[in-house]
Amino acid sequence: DIVMTQSPDSLAVSLGERATINCKSSQSVLYSSNNKNYLTWYQQKPGQPPKLLIYWASTRESGVPDRFSGSGSGTNFTLTIDSLQAEDVAVYYCQQYYTTPPYTFGQGTKLEIK
Amino acid sequence: EVQLVESGGGLVQSGGSLRLSCAASGFTFSSYWMTWVRQAPGKGLEWVATIKQDGSEKYYLDSVKGRFTISRDNAKNSLYLQMNSLRAEDTALYYCARDGQRLGISDYWGQGTLVTVSS
């Protein structure tokens, strides 16, 4: 199974600043035939289900603010939140969906306001 | 509006069984892969099982294989998870999710149903 490792485990950023969360997969999730990275990012606020933010590593889900962006390829990926807002406080998860399941999640990164 | 509503959770003794249900509405249920994801108290997300639109393909987390069965009834717009031989480590909030763009991209989630297994 592909192991997903996020860093850091927790992060405190000042309002208006940039937050960066990293995700590393134990093997490449880049499918060479279509040049797509099979990676999603989810946001989970306290007491709520996860919300899809990014898929194909960099495609923003409809309705997600453009301060959220995803980048990376192969085994190394980044979720960047520009101009952090108070409502961005949450736990963020990456997940790979390469080939067939199991589709493993990272352990999560808790984002707080400094 | 897409809605997913889970039910069937509760307190059960170790070795017992539960059947979770997920009622779907607001979309053509039979057109989508569907997934169960769980979250132990205070822990991260764990993918559990996924089923194809017509039920012909099913995938399971290794630790639940042989104990859990995912199924669906497209006529009733419902997804199920039959959980047998439950263990304390199965204690979690179980979410039902729709895989939208493709298998593995879960774009809508329910609020979850809590399963507690007492030892």
Residues B102-111 have a mean pLDDT of 95
Name the β-bridge partners of A26.
Answer: none
Tell me the per-residue pLDDT of A20-53, one tens digit each, with 9 for 90 and over. Answer: 999 999 999 999 999 999 999 999 999 999 999 9
Please, which residues 48-107 of chain A have a Cβ atom closer than 8 Å to chain B?
A: 49-52, 55, 61, 91, 93, 95-97, 100-107
Distance from CA of A9 to the nearest CA of B (A): 11
pLDDT recorded at residue B101? 83
- B73 pLDDT band, cuts 50/70/90, is very high
Query: What's the mean per-residue pLDDT of chain A?
Result: 97
pLDDT of B27 over the 90 cut: yes
- A59 pLDDT band, cuts 50/70/90, is very high
Tokens linked to A64: 């997600």
pLDDT of B92 over the 90 cut: yes
Residue A77 and residue A57: Cα distance in Å, rounded? 7
Distance from CA of B23 to the nearest CA of A (A): 16
pLDDT of B86 over the 90 cut: yes
Residue B113 and residue B115: Cα distance in Å, rounded? 7
Residue of A nearest to B48 (CA): A102
User: What beta strand segments (E) does B1-119 contain?
Assistant: 3-7, 10-13, 18-25, 33-39, 45-51, 58-60, 68-73, 78-83, 92-99, 106-109, 113-118
Residues B28-50 have a mean pLDDT of 98
Tell me the per-residue pLDDT of A62-83, one tens digit each, with 9 for 90 and over. Answer: 999 999 999 999 999 999 999 9
Q: How many CB pairs under 8 A join A and B?
A: 60
Token pair 């012909």 is found at: B56
Whether B47 sits inside 8 A of A95 (CB atoms) is: yes
B64 conformational bin, left if phi > 0, alpha if psi -120 to 50, beta if neither: alpha
